[in-house]
Structure 1
Amino acid sequence: MELVNLFSQAKRRSKIVIDANRLLSRLGSSKKLAVQLAGALVFTGSVGTGAYEGLKEQVTLEVDGKEQVIQTHANTVAELLKEQNVKITNEDEVYPSTKTKISDDMDITVHLAKPVKLTIDGQEKVIMTTAQTVKELLKEQNIKTNPNDVIMPALSTPLEENGKVSYEKAFPMVLNDGGVSKKVFATSTTVADFLEKQNITLNELDRVEPDAGEMIKQNDTVRVIRVEKVNDVVEEPVDFKEKEQEDSSMYKGESSVISEGVKGLVKRNFELIKENGKVVSKTLVDETLLKDPVDRVVAVGTKSVPKSSALVKSSAPKSNSKVKEMYVEATAYSPYDAGMSGITATGINIRKKPNMKLIAVDPNVIPLGSKVWVEGYGIAIAGDTGGAIKGKRIDILMPTKDACFDFGRRTVKVRIIS
């Protein structure tokens, strides 16, 4: 109430000053009186003006970081901003609000909205924002960031008018390097750029899947195949050959080993291509013969067999005019060898009868179903065939694989009984 009275007095004193000026114009003839009266009026006017100025409020106004202290008669924040020629739009931020009444020592902050180009996963748009930093801008746009996201410039960077901000959201994918997989995060880019960001270095022969120029996407798997070329030098045996030597002292169909063969030795240099440590190709580069193989020499009879001939050993059954006798190469097999069904060519289930005497034969040499005496084995049934059993070859049934290994490969005499 006291301030209102003071303001009213000041106005009245201002009016007195005006009326006094008019009076002075009429008292032009009394110079001394006019001077005295004018001095009194000036004093009275000064007191009124000082009182009016004393009614101003002092406020601190900050606009986009620029601060100033102002004396004002404005009633509201809106009037103050208008008084200071600060134009406000709906996108601007004012605190306290423009409707707030002015009070002494008030702090007023204004953030004027500025245009910024924001690119999200390759899509660009211009927005008006009062955000002061990149971090505030993304929060304003309801963008939740993760440590693997790509944000340029950094989150703490102050925003400028017409500034540019780029945001790329990271997504999960799998990186398989040399056969070892791990989960990683990446943004949309080419395979080549992705590998560079993952600090993956490719050697000369390495390759990647998909191709380096292709774009990656969420849940993709990028494979780095580590390729290496190495040389492998090995020494390997060389099989000997078998040579037949005619012997007129032996009957036709008979044979005997004169000298066993000896395998040779060769050094071979291979070029190996490995992918992720596994050999995928093997190429012979060169070889050196270290030891020559020695042929196996077998005597074969050329003497005609007389009809009355009885080529019988004490352990063999007696022969008759229908008996056919010969030497054959024999191997052994069991009911459980790889590829075996357990049923022979004549329908015998050898898995149920693994101990029966049975041989696989070439039907063109030994008829299926015939009884055959086999040296060192006994009388067996020619009850099976085999893809590798051609000519004078037989395969002897053994109950176990160990028995087959013990038998090995040998030349035996056989006699077809019936």
Structure 2
Amino acid sequence: MPRLTTAIPQPASPRADGQRHSLLPLGQALLKQFPNSHLHLAILVALATASLIAFAVPIASSQASTQPASSPPLTAAGDGLIAALRTQAQTVAGIIAPSAGDATPTQAYSRLGVVGGARLVPPSLLAAAGQLAVGGAFSKGRGYASMVIQRQNAVSFTIHQQGLSSSHASSQVTVGQALAEAGIRLTDADSVSPAPESRLTPGMHVYVAYSNSVRLIVEGQERLTYTHGATVGDALREAGVQLEATDRVFPPVDQAVRPGMTLSVVTVRETHEFSEEPIEYGTVYQQDAGVALGQKIPVRAGADGLVRREYRIVRINGQEVKREFLAQTIVPAIDALVAVGTRAAAVVQPALAPAPAAAAGDVLNCVRSLTVYATWYTAASAGGTTTKTGTAVYKGIVAVDPSVIPLGTRMYIPGYGYGLAADTGGGIKGNMIDLAYAA
């Protein structure tokens, strides 16, 4: 007879719907079929009682665990299947109910009826137990007892870890439970293949890869990480650290990883960088006699130039430690060109009265006389047609040094005639005069 192991809390209120339990007619049929078996009657009573408790007592659900029960549960007498009520009862139904080759609960439980070569329980009574486990309260997922299932017969499997292989046998259902039973404790960073929640099957090979905790320092930033890598280089790749040939790694990348070791990476990066400095363009004014005097016409647009410099920069852990000047390229600016007109408008020059002929013995009525050095100029050579006093440039206009000859002074120049001091010039200093149109 299978043995169920369960922890039973205080019962709640009994079933109050007033209906007969569905297993009672089944029990009566069993008594009729096996009237001489007191053992069968006791089993039937136990089944009915368990069914009433299962329906009347809601047992809090819990998560599946690979750990053994913390306290010994109550047991019913008998040998065979051991079921501790600690994982979802629905799991029980999936394990001891019809498998891929079974069509009904009766067939599944009929195979459990023979233990040690002797038939202990009639097939029909085992079918009732199957119906209780599969279709009764234990088949519901939430709000009922959680159960940990053990197999009736242990299965053999092989554990591979740290380069060693060992054979084991376990009655646990999953890989994780079997590993826990074997004393293997895993962390979240360890890997197991097949997965811990996979069903344990006979002859299975289970591979356990333990992770190593290492202290990783990259560019001065420290963090704790876990790795399955065999070498320092493998551990850095798993951590997402991309190395370059110039980087410094301590210990070397080919050294084996040990738990708790410190890995230090100093990045040494060399780059070529460029800087650009603009050169502003200027404006060139060019005189053009074909353009009216004073008019400005843009001839060419300007364009800025630049100075481009190339540097080799070395950074250690992201900080610049060296900057080396390599080359310089200059792109010259293009100046803007503007034409300035110099063409003067025609000016009607008033005719000056010729100097009167001096009679013999006559003397000109002058305030004073000066001996000066005389030059001549035109409006074109002077760069304009307007004098210092605002008059036009024509014959008879004389440029003077106002400190010597005040502007507005009328004068007589032998060989030139009468003149008017109405203009100045940068080169007219002292006893010097500049005669307009003297040639």
* TM band (smaller chain): 0.3 to 0.5
The alignment's TM-score, normalised by the length of structure 1, stands at 0.38
User: Scaled by the length of structure 2, what TM-score is found?
Assistant: 0.36
